[in-house]
A and B are shown apart, each in its own frame.
Chain A
Amino acid sequence: MAERKNFSRYKMRCGMLMRVDSCGRKIEEIELPKQDQYTLLLTADDIPGSNDLAFFSDTRPMMASGITAYPGQVAFALFAPDYEIAAMQMRSIGMKLSEEAVPVEHPMPEPLEYSWGEFTPEEGADAGYRTVESSYDLAHEARQTSIMYTVTAWMENSRLHIETPCEWVDLIKSAVSTAIKYPKESIVVHQLSHRSRFDEFLIDPAIVAAIAAVAVIRTGMPCEIRDRAIFSRPGIHVTRKTVIDSEGKPLSENVAMTVDMGASPVLAEEYQRQAMTGLIPPYPLKEFRASVDVRSSGLYPAAFSGSLGYSEALSATEYHISRLAEATEMTPYSYRKDIEKRRFTDYIPGFELDDQHKTMAAAASASTYERKWFANNFQRHSFGLLGYIKGIGLASGTGISGFSTTFARAAKFRSMMTYTQKHNVTINTSALNHPNMQKIWRTLISDRINPGQPETIMFLDPSQDTLDAGPDVLSRIISSLTPQLESAARKLASLKDTEPLPVSVVFDAQNTTLPCEFQNAGSATVVAEIIISETDFRPMVTAVWADIILPQMLNSASLRNAVKRAILSTVSECGFTIPMDFSMHLDITTNGADTSVSSLSALMKALTMGALANALFQAVGSGGSSLPTSSSVLEKVLSSHTGS
């Protein structure tokens, strides 16, 4: 990888971005102060190539051109010798937007529908049927985080270098290439280390990099832009109606999920597939009808936020199972123990739920879930003025990984493994931003080809010939690429003895031959205990118990850290605080099954959200169980309980 050029800050330009705060407004006027030779103002008109960022089949205008396409869109960029001058100049620029909004149309996919079976109530028996309804909400949220990142662009000979934190190198190259009409092969991306809890570094750095590249072309100097990472999550609303018989057995179910992806949605169809997988319940049903409707709105565009619909949908399903259990006067744990097998669907294969039962039993026993659940329920309406403001929630589910099979087949993300004449193995892939994972991959591959010689396994440095393994989202680089590398290594181990060297195997970065959209891998249960402060109504999580069974564990310490981070991040994302006496009990075991690695982060996010929603329901009832919660929301709900 080319080294970063250590250029003087006196010979570079520092850029700041001005973002608009509304969608569909006409930019009527930009009042500029007198520009000197040291400052540069860039608008959409200054982009020599295309202003559209292509993200698979979707496009998003990078800078506002005439009409603002989405709130948070870059209106213009200002470059100056340093940030202080840029900030001062920025204050003297005036921008006038039209008061009336112009409707902005976005092509949206048809609602995705999935169903099986038909249920007609038996004559004379319908008196025992009951309908259980639930509604699950997760509000749309978009905000600038406190994480600052810097994108630097500079030219060296004929190569344009971009230094940025990013989750997908190819998207940075594509964005820069189309913006400045520069060959993709001449763009070198230097990845900065980052933690992308909510996929903040997937799309935005590509836009910022393209603007910085335009500035390099215009000024002939290295340019950098400093910006804040943006957290953006879609809003969801799930309504579910289940008909149960007199014994509480579900017979038919109708689910409708509406997703608000804000303005300029991306990967809406993939979102539908992932969400549908999470909406399909584990219990047997005679009839099932589900639809996922993705809509656009005037809010900041949302796409990935550590998940692409599966976590949100699974948490809604887990929430509903607890409501079914309550309707049958059982604890959610007891209710779920009777569900033995999941049916085969187009989205996820059928499988026995033995592992899930084991995780539930372990987590329920460690947390004394049943006792606490009964105690909370018993005392809920008879304890103090505000009620008994404690709750415990359980959620259990199975993990999936990466993109759907349909999407993976269309996207064609590849990597290549070669056995050379020097008896080394080289791997050509863009998935190079996990140094710890590379060590594990080396061992896995050498065990199959050159046992005991991990030093003979080499990952090729990025070059113009690097094969694109796709974006590093949904833990897919770890969870989907690992089994593919193992499979390619097995194939290469036999080819190296029969074919002339060098011999190569080109393989998909993700399994594209699965019979369903996703493969189940790994089961987990999360129990969360919450309490609401009686003084300021602050929701607090006092303890979390998580039990996980995985097909395999590549690195125990990393995995434990990743699970803890996913749980703690979700707790914060849902509006809960973590008190000093908080405790977390985590147990991870393997079952040795030869299946793919699960995307644990997305699963833990789903189960933590589900457990928190259930705990919140027990504490305050249905009125306050929407996520994310806050002390002001809970104050209103609890005040309405007491009638004050």
Chain B
Amino acid sequence: MKVDCTIDGKTLSLSLNSDKPLSLIINENLGAGSGTNHCNGSLCGLCAVLVDGKPTLSCLVPAFELRGKEVQTFDGFRRTKAFKDLEKAYDAVGAYPCSDCYEARSIIFHSLIADDVTDRSEILKELSVIKCSCMDPDDQVAIVKQGMAIRSGKRVRRIQ
């Protein structure tokens, strides 16, 4: 089937099987460098991308659901100012995800910061979708709060 969607700002018209998962589309149809894990639906959480701005596990999104949707992978996200702010939050807290889950966890951190989620249990519940056990829960909460502080600092400067 033919699927028209936008991935990382590029409008694409893809010809592929209707049930092909988004994680494989990113891996195979977008060329090298757009790597995201594909666990075949075993919910490892490492394939998180933003679909219409919402964090989504790409291995659970079939191609037919992509029609008209806007997808942002980590490759697209890393070019944004929000990612630079997130990197600052990592540095400020002194903790960062491992190379396995860096991409997926960064995307979920970003969405939590964007949604102003401050409740510890809600933050950890959202992040528990990633099965990689490389980060201390306290550090994860601190990163989200630090990210919000960096973002609100910018807002204050803009108002001034």
Chain A interfacial positions (CB closer than 8 Å to B): 4, 6, 9, 14, 82-84, 146-148, 150, 193-195, 197, 226, 556-557, 560-561, 564-565, 568-569, 571-572, 578, 580-584
Inter-chain contact B46/A147, CB cutoff 8 Å: yes
Inter-chain contact B28/A83, CB cutoff 8 Å: yes
B154 within 8 A of A: no
Chain B: how many interface residues by the 8 Å CB criterion? 33
Which of chain A's residues have a CB closer than 8 A to the CB of B32? 4, 6
B124 within 8 A of A: yes
Shortest Cβ distance from B136 into chain A, in angstroms? 5
Q: A84-B17, A146-B46, A194-B99 are in contact. Are A564 and B24 (CB under 8 A)?
A: no
Inter-chain contact A83/B99, CB cutoff 8 Å: no
**Mind listing 7 A-B residue pairs with CB under 8 Å?**
A146-B44, A226-B38, A561-B94, A561-B95, A568-B135, A569-B134, A571-B133
Main DSSP-derived SS at the B contact region: loop
Which of chain B's residues have a CB closer than 8 A to the CB of A84? 17, 20
Which of chain B's residues have a CB closer than 8 A to the CB of A148? 37-39
In order of increasing CB-CB distance, the 9 nearest A-B pairs are A146-B44, A146-B39, A195-B99, A572-B133, A557-B94, A195-B98, A568-B133, A195-B100, A565-B134
Contact of B136 among A147, A193, A195, A564 (CB under 8 A): A564
Assembled-state Cα–Cα distance A599/B99 (Å): 20
B115 within 8 A of A: no
Inter-chain contact B138/A584, CB cutoff 8 Å: yes
Contact of B120 among A9, A557, A580 (CB under 8 A): A580
Instruction: Tell me which of B31, B98, B121 has the highest count of chain A C-beta atoms within 10 A of its own C-beta.
Output: B98
Inter-chain contact B134/A580, CB cutoff 8 Å: no
Which of chain A's residues have a CB closer than 8 A to the CB of B38? 148, 226
Q: A6-B31, A82-B28, A147-B100 are in contact. Are A568 and B134 (CB under 8 A)?
A: yes
Which of chain B's residues have a CB closer than 8 A to the CB of A147? 37, 44, 46, 100
B160 within 8 A of A: no
Which of chain B's residues have a CB closer than 8 A to the CB of A583? 137-138
Chain B interfacial positions (CB closer than 8 Å to A): 17, 20, 24, 27-29, 31-32, 35, 37-39, 42, 44, 46, 94-96, 98-100, 120-121, 124-125, 131, 133-139
Contact of B28 among A9, A560, A568, A569 (CB under 8 A): A9
Which of chain A's residues have a CB closer than 8 A to the CB of B120? 580
Which of chain B's residues have a CB closer than 8 A to the CB of A83? 24, 28
A-B contact count (CB 8 A): 74
Contact of B121 among A14, A557, A580 (CB under 8 A): A580
Q: Add 17 more A-B contacts to A9-B31, A150-B27, A565-B98 (CB < 8 A).
A: A82-B28, A84-B20, A146-B131, A147-B44, A148-B37, A195-B98, A195-B134, A226-B38, A560-B94, A560-B95, A564-B139, A568-B135, A569-B133, A578-B133, A580-B121, A580-B124, A581-B137
Inter-chain contact B46/A582, CB cutoff 8 Å: no
**A8, closest chain B residue (CB):** B31
Inter-chain contact A584/B136, CB cutoff 8 Å: yes
Assembled-state Cα–Cα distance A556/B121 (Å): 29
**A586, closest chain B residue (CB):** B136
Which of chain A's residues have a CB closer than 8 A to the CB of B134? 195, 564-565, 568-569
Which of chain A's residues have a CB closer than 8 A to the CB of B131? 146
Which of chain A's residues have a CB closer than 8 A to the CB of B24? 83
Main DSSP-derived SS at the A contact region: mixed
Shortest Cβ distance from A530 into chain B, in angstroms? 16
Assembled-state Cα–Cα distance A197/B132 (Å): 11
Q: A195-B99, A557-B94 are in contact. Are A582 and B137 (CB under 8 A)?
A: yes
Shortest Cβ distance from A304 into chain B, in angstroms? 18
Assembled-state Cα–Cα distance A194/B103 (Å): 12
Assembled-state Cα–Cα distance A326/B107 (Å): 49
Contact of A146 among B27, B42, B94, B139 (CB under 8 A): B42
Which of chain A's residues have a CB closer than 8 A to the CB of B100? 147, 194-195
Shortest Cβ distance from B66 into chain A, in angstroms? 17
Assembled-state Cα–Cα distance A147/B130 (Å): 12
Which of chain A's residues have a CB closer than 8 A to the CB of B20? 84
Assembled-state Cα–Cα distance A195/B96 (Å): 13
Instruction: Tell me which of A84, A146, A582 has the highest count of chain B C-beta atoms within 10 A of its own C-beta.
Output: A146
Which of chain B's residues have a CB closer than 8 A to the CB of A226? 38
Which of chain A's residues have a CB closer than 8 A to the CB of B121? 580
Shortest Cβ distance from A529 into chain B, in angstroms? 15
Inter-chain contact B137/A580, CB cutoff 8 Å: yes
Which of chain B's residues have a CB closer than 8 A to the CB of A6? 31-32
Assembled-state Cα–Cα distance A556/B17 (Å): 49
Which of chain B's residues have a CB closer than 8 A to the CB of A581? 137
Which of chain B's residues have a CB closer than 8 A to the CB of A556? 94
Instruction: Tell me which of B27, B35, B135, B136 has the highest count of chain A C-beta atoms within 10 A of its own C-beta.
Output: B136
Inter-chain contact A564/B39, CB cutoff 8 Å: no
Assembled-state Cα–Cα distance A571/B125 (Å): 19
**A568, closest chain B residue (CB):** B133
Inter-chain contact A568/B136, CB cutoff 8 Å: yes
Q: A83-B28, A84-B20 are in contact. Are A564 and B135 (CB under 8 A)?
A: yes
Assembled-state Cα–Cα distance A226/B27 (Å): 11
Which of chain A's residues have a CB closer than 8 A to the CB of B37? 146-148
Shortest Cβ distance from A410 into chain B, in angstroms? 32
Which of chain B's residues have a CB closer than 8 A to the CB of A193? 99
Shortest Cβ distance from B7 into chain A, in angstroms? 16
Inter-chain contact A564/B95, CB cutoff 8 Å: yes
Shortest Cβ distance from B58 into chain A, in angstroms? 12
Assembled-state Cα–Cα distance A4/B121 (Å): 43
Assembled-state Cα–Cα distance A4/B137 (Å): 38
Which of chain A's residues have a CB closer than 8 A to the CB of B133? 568-569, 571-572, 578
**A565, closest chain B residue (CB):** B134
Instruction: Tell me which of A147, A569, A571, A583 has the highest count of chain B C-beta atoms within 10 A of its own C-beta.
Output: A147
**A560, closest chain B residue (CB):** B94
Assembled-state Cα–Cα distance A14/B125 (Å): 37
Shortest Cβ distance from B52 into chain A, in angstroms? 25
**B94, closest chain A residue (CB):** A557
Which of chain A's residues have a CB closer than 8 A to the CB of B125? 580
**B131, closest chain A residue (CB):** A146
Which of chain B's residues have a CB closer than 8 A to the CB of A150? 27, 35
